[in-house]
């Protein structure tokens, strides 16, 4: 839900606090990193210092604009205020942020996913907005001065979560925000090609393997790619670069649900990304069955155990959703 005066309350609590922390979700993406950085900058403009908490250092898949930030991955510090950005539920907070949340006096959440639980004292959740970046921009607009750095950060976050302003979460309000960002003389084309359009030779090799693995099910309506642990090891490609693969599958004519499965390490779990371009298919229904989450068009989940069994369960659930047996 939307809270009136959310920005005022957050700034007021933070300015009276000795310490403030900001955290995005586990396995961070551009929107969550950019919204963390934007939040930190907005607080700074209001005379408040805040640390950004992160599970572990970022790999080289991320552009330097978001990578070269002094993140905190370990600290004994107790934070009086903890702010989560782009995190729909408590379990998606990295462990460090979950621990700091327990000891905080005031907690805030700013998000654009479907609200699952009220895990913070104040929840500013605008479901359906393009990105956490857009929610932050609109919520805090009266309380910050837009500059080139902030505009570039917001632009990257919004670009990432809207797939370059084409997903259905792109609204006219999104373009209103973008038009304001472009007044800051940002080099949007350069930003986008650096962050999203360049691939390393290693990532290209990994993508080739993913493409070779593709199998179709349910009369070509389901496409599945898989990258096992050895594919990541042998190509030496960063896990983060595999996120684009599901987007390729979604573009194949006739495919209603695109599924990319990844085994990032030897812990025995499979990360699954789901996409659909079909207006009458809701992939979050598949994700929810496996305690995952996300949006109607793009969702994710985790499977554990034997690969064949995991794949079977996933395919059965996907077929039920396609056949609409699920309601
Ligand atoms: Mn997001």
pLDDT tens digits for 160-201? 999 999 988 999 999 999 999 999 999 999 999 999 988 889
Kindly state whether residues 91 and 237 are assigned to the same domain: no
CA distances from 40 to 23, 191, 318 (A): 10, 20, 40
Q: Tell me the pairing of strands 215-217 and 222-227.
A: antiparallel
Kindly state whether residues 180 and 238 are assigned to the same domain: no
Kindly state whether residues 174 and 236 are assigned to the same domain: no
Check residues 302 and 114 and name the one with the higher pLDDT: 302
Kindly state whether residues 94 and 114 are assigned to the same domain: yes
Is residue 175 in a domain? Answer: yes
Distance 30 CA to ligand 1 centre (A): 8
Is residue 327 in a domain? Answer: no
Considering 161, 180, 196, which residue would you say is the last residue of a domain? 196
Is residue 1 in a domain? Answer: no
Q: What is the pLDDT of residue 324?
A: 81
Per the rule left: phi > 0, alpha: psi between -120 and 50, beta: everything else, 43 is: alpha
Is residue 217 in a domain? Answer: yes
Q: What is the mean pLDDT of residues 68-97?
A: 96
Q: What is the mean pLDDT of residues 81-99?
A: 96
Kindly state whether residues 37 and 175 are assigned to the same domain: yes
Kindly state whether residues 179 and 225 are assigned to the same domain: no
Q: What is the pLDDT of residue 327?
A: 47
Mean pLDDT of the chain: 94
Is the predicted pLDDT of residue 158 greater than 80, yes or no?
yes
Distance 169 CA to ligand 1 centre (A): 11
Distance 308 CA to ligand 1 centre (A): 31
- Residue 82 in contact with residue 108, Cβ under 8 Å? yes
Kindly state whether residues 151 and 89 are assigned to the same domain: yes
Is the predicted pLDDT of residue 291 greater than 90, yes or no?
yes
Distance 221 CA to ligand 1 centre (A): 27
Distance 174 CA to ligand 1 centre (A): 13
For the chain, percent of residues with pLDDT exceeding 70: 99
Question: Tokens standing for 98?
Answer: 């979950």
**CA dist., res. 217 & res. 108, Å (int):** 43
Distance 168 CA to ligand 1 centre (A): 14
Distance 299 CA to ligand 1 centre (A): 11
Find the distance separating the first CA and the last CA of the chain, reported in whole Å. Answer: 25
Distance 296 CA to ligand 1 centre (A): 14
Q: Helix/strand/coil (H, E, C) string of the chain?
A: CCCCCHHHHHHHHHHCCCCEEEECCCCCCHHHHHHHHHHHHHHHHCCCCCEEECCCCCCCCCCHHHHCCCCECCCCCCCCEEEEECCCCHHHCCHHHHHHHHCCCEEEEEECCCCCCCCCCEEEECCCCCCHHHHHHHHHHHHCCCCHHHHHHHHHHHHHHCCCCCCCCCCHHHHHHHHHHHHHCCCHHHHHHHHHHCCCHHHHHHHHHHHHCCEEECCCCEEEEEECHHHHHHHCCCHHHHHHHHHHHHCCCCCCEEEEEECCCCCCEEEEEEECCCCCCCCHHHHHHCCCEECCCEEEEEEECCHHHHHHHHHHHHHHHHCCCCC
Distance 99 CA to ligand 1 centre (A): 22
Q: What is the pLDDT of residue 10?
A: 98
Kindly state whether residues 76 and 133 are assigned to the same domain: yes
Distance 309 CA to ligand 1 centre (A): 31
User: Could you read off the pLDDT of 14-45 as tens digits, one per residue?
Assistant: 999 999 999 999 989 999 999 999 999 999 99
Kindly state whether residues 174 and 278 are assigned to the same domain: no
**Residue numbers of the domain that contains 129:** 6-196
Q: What is the pLDDT of residue 299?
A: 95
| Residue (of 170, 327, 167) closest to 246 by Cα position | 167
Instruction: Give the lowest-confidence range in 5-9, 58-62, 269-273.
Output: 58-62
pLDDT band at 325 (very low <50, low <70, confident <90, very high): low
For the chain, percent of residues with pLDDT exceeding 90: 85
By the CB criterion, residues less than 5 angstroms from ion ligand 1 are 31, 86, 131-132, 161
Q: What is the mean pLDDT of residues 196-223?
A: 95
Q: What is the pLDDT of residue 251?
A: 93
User: Could you read off the pLDDT of 226-239 as tens digits, one per residue?
Assistant: 999 999 999 999 88
Kindly state whether residues 236 and 288 are assigned to the same domain: yes
| Number of domains composing the chain | 2
Q: What is the mean pLDDT of residues 2-10?
A: 94
């Amino acid at each position: 839900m939307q809270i009136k005066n959310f920005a005022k309350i957050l700034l007021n609590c933070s300015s009276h606090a000795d310490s403030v922390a900001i955290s995005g979700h586990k396995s961070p993406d551009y929107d969550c990193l950019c919204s963390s950085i934007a939040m930190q900058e907005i607080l700074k403009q209001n005379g408040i210092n805040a640390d950004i908490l992160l599970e572990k250092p970022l790999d080289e898949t991320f552009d330097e604009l978001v990578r070269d930030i002094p993140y905190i991955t370990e600290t004994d510090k107790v934070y009086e205020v903890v702010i989560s950005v782009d995190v729909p539920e408590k379990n998606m907070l990295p462990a460090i942020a979950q621990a700091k949340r327990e000891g905080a006096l005031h907690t805030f959440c700013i998000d654009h996913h479907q609200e699952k639980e009220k895990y913070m004292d104040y929840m500013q959740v605008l479901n359906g907005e393009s990105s956490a970046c857009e929610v932050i921009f609109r919520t805090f607009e009266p309380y910050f001065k837009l500059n080139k750095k902030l505009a570039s950060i917001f632009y990257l976050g919004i670009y990432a979560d809207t797939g370059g302003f084409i997903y259905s979460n792109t609204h006219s309000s999104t373009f209103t925000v973008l038009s304001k960002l472009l007044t800051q003389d940002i080099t949007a084309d350069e930003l986008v090609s650096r962050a999203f359009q360049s691939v390393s030779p290693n990532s290209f090799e990994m993508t080739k393997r993913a493409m070779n693995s593709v199998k179709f099910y349910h009369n070509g309506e389901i496409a599945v790619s898989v990258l096992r642990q050895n594919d990541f090891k042998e190509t030496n490609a960063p896990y983060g670069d595999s996120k684009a693969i599901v987007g390729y599958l979604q573009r194949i004519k006739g495919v209603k649900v695109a599924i990319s499965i990844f085994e990032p390490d030897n812990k025995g779990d499979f990360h699954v990304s789901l996409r659909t371009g079909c207006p009458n298919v809701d992939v979050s229904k598949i994700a929810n069955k496996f305690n995952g989450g996300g949006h109607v068009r793009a969702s994710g989940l985790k499977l554990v155990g034997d690969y064949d069994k995991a794949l079977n369960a996933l395919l059965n659930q996907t077929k039920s959703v396609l056949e609409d047996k699920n309601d």
